[in-house]
Homo-oligomer: A and B are copies of this chain.
Amino acid sequence: MTEKKPHVAVIGGGLVGALNACFLAKRNFKVDVYERRDDIRKAEHVKGRSINLALSTRGRTALRMVGLEEEVLKNGIPMHARMIHGVDGSRNPILYGKEDQYIMSVDRRRLNEVLLSAAEDNPNVTCYFEHKVVRCDFTTGEVEFINKEGKKVQNKVDLIVGNDGAFSAVRKEMMRATLLDFQQEYIPHGYMELTIPPSPKDEFQMEVNYLHIWPRNEYMMIALPNLDKSFTCTLFMPFDIFASIKTEEDLMRFFRDKFPDAIPLMGEETLKQIYMSSKPLPMVSIKCSPYHVKDKGVIMGDAAHAMVPFYGQGMNAGFEDCIVLDEMLDKYNNDFAKALPAYSEFRKVDDHAICDLAMYNYVEMRKSVNSKLFLMRKKLDNLLFTIFPSSWVPLYTMVAFTRTRYHECIEKRKHQDEILNKVLYIGGVILFGSLAVSVVQILNQNGVSIHSLKDHFTQLWEAYF
């Protein structure tokens, strides 16, 4: 006797949607993917969203599980360290972890194309483009779309999966169907993408295997390498600063002041041309709970937890969502009525934790990478990591290079902070003690006895009190 294949509608054919289709098809589900926009593989130009992304362990693990890690990696560029650019033009690297630990710069569009093609290679998957969700019924499983001809089309499925990004239509429909706690917060910063082209000799103009950072407190610029030997730069600034830079003169004055070394790399004319024709884009942090409705609907990726981009974990967290759902479907033998609430309950704390970490890094990354204390802490962290490789894992390493649950990363870091504070305190006491002993020794060597000092202090004391 053959059971009927579960039929799933994956809403959204972006990174998480396409990967999720691979996961669900592998379970032998019948999967229909509905994407609002046209097929990215046919598009001449893709607008909005960042050009490249930092792929780390969680994302790689998910890709490996659907057999795509190799293919994605061969088109990526390893980044072993941050490269900090000072205002004076200095460049200082800070390793991400150990020598062999690196994150990968990957091209968003290429990755999306690989994922979509892999999904479609599976006979269980059908992709529909230019289909916009207008209604979901989480009791019957009916979904209604408007297609590219402007006509209404319907489908009826066993499960509606919302992988449709931060402004998810599926989530909006869920909010009509269930009591959904929801929170969205915009940060005062916007971002704009600029570019550093290859050199005239078609070479990278900066050290290639790094994520370049220009930390300037209120402002920050980063640059990731591309396969074509260019770098994509992202400039983060408060919207009101963007608005205050109105003319090409304003722009050059600002760049000469804050990012002088980037001007010759970008080329003054190109910089002016791109800046003047672009608008800064907003960044939003979104949390909600629960992620499911009954046994018929679930949201994942940015639809469930959009985050500010400062931990480089948005895509990685979304990819890990696919692993977690897959594990829950295993555990509950594809029983959606059990797997969906279990997924929601299990994953919520971790998604909320990475949203918080990203928001924390929003401040940390601009400010701290500039500070001596931050560098000392990084060095101390890495030293302890070398001595105790299994028990003292730095926060960034846990987040980027392990699959330790995000909320546990935060807990472990708190625990480390407590220990470090104690160590620093004890260290301080020992240091102060040694100092005192040295002083006494020096005094002794100079013929001053400790007893005469004591008498002296006693006399002083008695004279005053």
Contacts and interface: CB of A to CB of B under 8 A. Distances in A.
Contacts of A180: 184, 186
A182 interface: yes
Contacts of A182: 182-184
Contacts of A282: 179
Interface string A167-191: 0000000000001111111100000
Contacts of A181: 184-186
Interface in A5-24: none
Interface residues of A, number: 10
Nearest to A239: B179
A183 B181 CA distance: 8
Contacts of A284: 179
A431 to B, nearest CB: 33
Interface in A261-307: 282, 284
Interface in A300-356: none
Contacts of A183: 182-184
A184 B180 CA distance: 8
Interface in A95-153: none
Nearest to A283: B179
A431 B179 CA distance: 52
Nearest to A178: B186
Nearest to A286: B182
A124 to B, nearest CB: 36
Interface string A184-226: 1110000000000000000000000000000000000000000
A285 to B, nearest CB: 10
Nearest to A172: B172
A179 B167 CA distance: 12
A185 B186 CA distance: 18
Contacts of A179: 186, 282, 284
Nearest to A284: B179
A246 to B, nearest CB: 20
Interface in A337-389: none
A184 B289 CA distance: 10
A289 to B, nearest CB: 9
A181 B183 CA distance: 8
Nearest to A282: B179
A304 to B, nearest CB: 15
Nearest to A175: B184
A348 to B, nearest CB: 14
Nearest to A179: B186
A276 to B, nearest CB: 23
Nearest to A184: B182
Nearest to A186: B179
A240 B293 CA distance: 17
Nearest to A190: B179
A185 B287 CA distance: 11
A182 B179 CA distance: 16
A179 B282 CA distance: 8
Contacts of A185: 181
A179 B187 CA distance: 9
A181 B182 CA distance: 11
A184 B183 CA distance: 6
13 contacts: A179-B186, A179-B282, A179-B284, A180-B184, A180-B186, A181-B184, A181-B185, A181-B186, A182-B182, A182-B183, A182-B184, A183-B183, A183-B184
Interface of A: 179-186, 282, 284
Given A179-B284, A181-B185, A182-B183, 10 more contacts: A179-B186, A179-B282, A180-B184, A180-B186, A181-B184, A181-B186, A182-B182, A182-B184, A183-B183, A183-B184
Identify the 3 closest CB pairs spanning chains A and B, nearest first: A179-B186, A183-B183, A181-B185
